[in-house]
Amino acid sequence: MCLQEDLMSEMLEGYYQSSFKLPRCSENCLYLNVFTPAKRDPKSKLPVMTFIHGGALVIGSASMFDGSALSALENVVAVSIQYRLGILGFLSTTDNQLSGNYGLKDQVAALQWIQENIAAFGGDPSSVTIFGESAGAISVSALVLSPLSKGLFHRAIAQSGAITMPDFVASKSEDLIHHQDVVAKISGCDLASIADCLKKKSEEEIMVIAKAMGMLPLPVHVDGVFLPKPVEEMLADKEINKVPFIIGMNNQEFGWLAPSSFNLTGMMEGMTRETATSNLQNLPLMGPNPKAIPFLIDEYLGDIDDPVEIRDRFLDLCGDTAFVIPALRIAKHHRDAGLPVYVYEYQHPPSLLAHLRADYVKADHGDELFFVFGGPFLRDGVLYAGPATDAEKALSRNMMRYWANFARTGDPNCPGLTTWPPYGEEEHYLGINLKQKASSKLKEEKFKFWTEILPEKIRSLAEDGSDHTEL
């Protein structure tokens, strides 16, 4: 797998299938894995489902995702790809020594390889779906915008991530200063010659830098090439690759994995309002504008004082700002561009994780991957493999069917499945649980708060003489 600090092993300890072993790290890492049905017709032209892994653009590996169950049960060609991470994949400098987005360009190169070679594996190069989770979903939504990827894929699925997430895009040169300074300080490189300096570093030295940086992501860069203009401008101008899109999130994105990474206090016993405020102020990643915090506390906590209720609402607040609202922004822009879009909210926590997590945890970040990849049907030694109830096996089959139907036709629906209506003016979405249910207006009031009410409150602060800070 691509060079990275060994954080993934710690995060996966005891999760899912403990016998899974991560491959070794190497700078020579631009590989992809192809899974095909065992009994495919040699002349077949099957839909291709290309997965982009997550990990904050810092960690992760294609080998964590075994596509054999998805391929066999849904008769598709599944591909998982790797891309450079951390400073090798995403470091940008203000003087353009390093233009950044190298990891995203690796993804484009993988899609070009698929166009040229996937027919030899029974795949149809004219039917390629990209799908990804977390930073992989950020990548998917970036590829949906980029002119470099035009024509290389035909459908897209973003699970729990969007290019509109806070702190993941540097639109202006000034946005790069903090990150380049951090890398220069840790690496001992002079900023004026940082590109040449880093190129001379050994793999071991790069790993030392990665360890010091931890989970600090380097942002995607509006470089004028991969992203010609700021993301919000491209979305507003409808400069989007014209493909059908599924985008969704889990109903407690900030339930367990992220809080554990950030060492937040009050997770088990509950929080006071002061603890919730302090946690917000200290969030190192995707934290809100400090000026907005009093408004956020008022909106989400109201006048409640029960510590457990405060904790649960705090987790909703964090999930909304980092995942839910950014995804809904993308969905609305895609819809308004006249393109098919389907929205989901995943709601079922896997039973095999129940012993590892607190009882309050609902569907946490990443929980849907066990079902999308057919975890109940995978062999031992594969990460997302493990025991499941009969109802969970049915859920996994349904999710694979929705995803594969979409890969085949651009529409997730087929006979035997609960109808998943498109996200139109009524803003329909599918609640994915042991039973599926279509609803509408997901987080409608909170979306209005984040996109209309809160910006107006911040503007009013600025007009009253406070410094203006962008949301």
Question: For 238-262, how does the pLDDT look when each residue is reduced to its tens digit (9 = 90+)?
Answer: 999 999 999 999 999 999 988 887 8
Least confident residue range of 76-90, 123-137, 162-176, 280-294 = 280-294
Token pair recorded at residue 471 = 């949301």
Share of the chain above pLDDT 90, in %: 80
User: Residue 17's pLDDT is what?
Assistant: 53
- Spatial CB neighbours of 383, under 8 Å, sequence gap ≥ 6: 12, 16, 17, 20, 64, 65, 66
Q: Does residue 235 have a pLDDT over 70? A: yes
Token pair recorded at residue 131 = 């799908």
Q: Does residue 263 have a pLDDT over 90? A: no
- CA 50, CA 131: separation in Å to the nearest integer? 6
**Residue 13's pLDDT band (boundaries 50, 70, 90)?**
low
The residues carrying an active-site annotation are: 134, 253, 365
- CA 89, CA 106: separation in Å to the nearest integer? 9
User: Residue 21's pLDDT is what?
Assistant: 76
**CATH numeric code, 8-265+318-445:** 3.40.50.1820
Q: Spell out the domain ranges in the chain.
A: 8-265+318-445
Question: For 62-119, how does the pLDDT look when each residue is reduced to its tens digit (9 = 90+)?
Answer: 999 999 999 999 999 999 999 999 999 999 999 999 999 999 999 999 999 999 999 9
User: Residue 287's pLDDT is what?
Assistant: 59
pTM of the model: 0.95
Phi-psi region at 381: left, alpha or beta (left = phi > 0; alpha = psi -120 to 50): left
Average pLDDT over residues 40-57: 93
**Residue 468's pLDDT band (boundaries 50, 70, 90)?**
very low
Q: Does residue 304 have a pLDDT over 80? A: yes
